[in-house]
Amino acid sequence: MFSFFANPERFQSLAKWLGPPLAVLAIVGIVGGLGAGLFLAPEDYQQGDAARMLYVHVPAAWLASFSYGFLAIASFISFVWRHNLADSAAEAAAPLGLGFTFLALFTGALWGKPMWGAYWVWDARLTSMLVLLFLFLGYMTIRSVMPDKVRAARLGAIVAMVGAINLPIIKFSVDWWSTLHQPSSLLRAGGPAIENTMLWPLLAAILGYTALFGWLVLVQMQTELDVRKINRIQRLHIGTRLSRPEAPQKDISNG
């Protein structure tokens, strides 16, 4: 399967086919989910209107973990099979993951202040999310700072794979430690613990955020393929230019 998608032409045609529906799903899901969460969903019986932050916080937190999982899997494929497209998928996922991890922390802080009385506490869930932010930052720094792009990709992949150990820590932090953060209300044994009128806008927003991630990763990968093609052509030109001074030498030796 990996070798099937290793072909850039095949990937480009798949991306052209898959991109538009993902974009539509993203916009409909986000506008519908956030709009319904803000204006239609009922207020929570304990938290009142503050619970409306659920619809921006939970999808961002989900996507932060999801994008890191995607980054780690793409890095593994790139590291083991030296799959160029998997490498560009990993590179594309990192800034998106960083952005959504920031959003999860930011919206969480704004939710925490009225509920806990503090924007930040060194709670296991919050701290493991902060570690996730630094993992994304570390990965992106390695990719952008190292001059040797092949070595940067290999080292970045190792960091991404090792950092994946943080994902179960994030997920189970609320069960393993005594935390201020509430336990999981969606992915838990016995089904979601949320009323349907609040659940549907949340699921729509989660679906919209995930589709947005898929769409933007495809767009970034298409861009990366174009950039690599441009670099290849430019290197070819530099090579041609460099080889020109050798031509007269050849003529002299022949003469």
Partner 1 sequence: MAELLDMGKYAAFIWPSYGVSLMVIGGFIVWSLRRRHKARALLRQIEAVEKPAVGS
Using CA of residue 26, residue 102, residue 141, residue 82, what is the dihedral sign?
negative
Shortest distance, CB of residue 252 to partner 1, whole angstroms?
A: 26
3-state secondary structure of 224: helix
57 near partner 1, judged by CB under 8 A: yes
Contact 59, 206 (CB under 8 A): yes
Identify which range of 122-130, 146-154, 186-194, 228-236 contacts partner 1 by CB under 8 A: 228-236
Q: Of 36, 41, 56, 89, which one interacts with partner 1 (CB under 8 A)?
A: 56
Contact 167, 69 (CB under 8 A): yes
113 near partner 1, judged by CB under 8 A: yes
Q: Of 40, 137, 162, 233, which one interacts with partner 1 (CB under 8 A)?
A: 233
d(CA 171, CA 63): 13
165 near partner 1, judged by CB under 8 A: no
Place of tokens 């993902």: 22
Residue 177 is given by DSSP the state: S
Shortest distance, CB of residue 223 to partner 1, whole angstroms?
A: 5
Contact 206, 147 (CB under 8 A): no
Longest dimension (CA), the chain: 95
198 near partner 1, judged by CB under 8 A: no
**Closer residue to partner 1, CB minimum distance, 32 or 99:** 99
Residues that bind partner 1 (CB under 8 A): 30, 34, 38-39, 43, 48-50, 52-53, 56-57, 60, 95-96, 99-100, 102-103, 106-107, 110-111, 113-114, 212, 216, 219-220, 222-223, 226-227, 229-230, 233-234
